Structure 1
């Protein structure tokens, strides 16, 4: 059960920077059929799994663009561990992710009889990004009823800022990126607070091309790399 909760947390915060959107933001393409594949590595660079994202539906209502993205996660042996559909919206010059939309029926099936409730504040990414710019914080809380007790996982994404511009080479190509630094402040039931720094490399018209997460001592824990894309 704890392993499943861990997978949920990973999916929540990987999705923050991987989602696609419409012309209201220049950093992510939004076209039905667009697909992206990412490889996840451990601290030693060993492949741990792959995640495939596909934009399956896009609709517009006034200034709001809504879309559905399908996610499939498989382990290093190619076994599918989780599949889900995510809903999100884009309005004006900012992408906003509704964390409530991440908890759909398909994902709930992964938890069988466990009741899970997700609340939080949206994470935002504006069009105009410049080095030194500070971005709004965000948070999410996962409460899981484990029969007689509730397990709470609270993660605050804080100290978000545009750190630098950098060129990145991946199996999918070379990209000019903006690097966003943030810290995930995590608190779980019966455990103290832990802060995990993270960096995300974003390319215009692509979205996330690379991500690195570190422990409290600054040592690399996990990394993610864009390996395939199709638009």
Structure 2
């Protein structure tokens, strides 16, 4: 009887603690929060969406860490295997997880493929301002199968700069967003053979949202390839 009572109290305490909202840099994070980003091609036709669900919010040292599950759904409603990403708010910076793209690739590749991250960091300061230059973001990963290296991937976001502040309207609402431009470069080595690509990314962010309000991708010739918008927050 006593053991059952103690166990029940522990479960209750855990539930209350896990459900408690955490505030950081003007943003409130709580397990159960959801975000939907809708993707479109250059001709404004739907190309799928990603649904992000905050599964857990906890403290690590002085930082607030969010464990987030991402679920991609194509334009026909077919879902891929969900994957996990992590965001860290230090109080002065939001550190974004760039591994989602690679995890999505891994989930749809051979089952025995494993991904090892060597670097994974994209930082946004607590306050943005026009003319501000942001630090480079980088993600480096190695894909292995049965102990053998199959692919090395390196993605860098350089020349990140806040260009302007503009009102942006999406299905999720109207936001005063900062326009951030950056140069993204990829280098993938498959069986030792390098494959390189580059593009330009223009994103729009606010100080109080974890995800971009809108993000546009252009090829190296400046032609729009596609874009995404924040379509739901719940």
TM-score for both structures, normalised by structure 1: 0.80
Q: Retained in 1: the 8 A contact 2:142–2:149?
A: no
Of Structure 1 and Structure 2, the greater strand share is in 2
Matched residue pairs, number?
208
2:195 is aligned with 1:204: no
What is the CA–CA distance in structure 1 between the aligned matches of 2:174 and 2:54, rounded to whole Å?
23
Mapped partners of 2:100, 2:218: distance in 1: 27
Question: Deviation at 1:107?
Answer: 8.6
Q: Secondary structure at the match of 1:80?
A: coil
Task: Name which one, 1 or 2, has greater alpha-carbon Rg.
Answer: 2
Equivalences for residues 137-216 of structure 1 within 5 A: 137-145=136-144, 150-189=150-189, 190-207=193-210, 208-216=212-220
Give the gaps of 5 or more residues in structure 1: 1-20
- Matching of residues 54-203 of structure 1 within 5 Å: 54-97=53-96, 110-111=108-109, 112-145=111-144, 150-189=150-189, 190-203=193-206
Q: Does 1:34 align with 2:37?
A: no
Structure 2 CA distance, aligned partners of 1:195 and 1:82?
A: 27
Aligned partners of 1:198 and 1:107: how far apart in 2? 20
Give the 3-state SS of the residue equivalent to 2:153 in structure 1: strand
Which structure has more RCO (C-alpha within 8 Å, separation ≥ 6)? 1
Report the Cα distance in structure 2 between the residues aligned to 1:107 and 1:85, rounded to whole angstroms.
13
Distance in 1 separating the partners of 2:106 and 2:129: 39
Consecutive unaligned residues of structure 2, counting only runs of 5 or more, are: 1-20
CA distance in 2, matches of 1:188, 1:154: 6
Q: CA deviation at 1:144?
A: 1.8
SS at match of 2:134: coil
Q: State the shift of 1:163 in Å.
A: 1.1
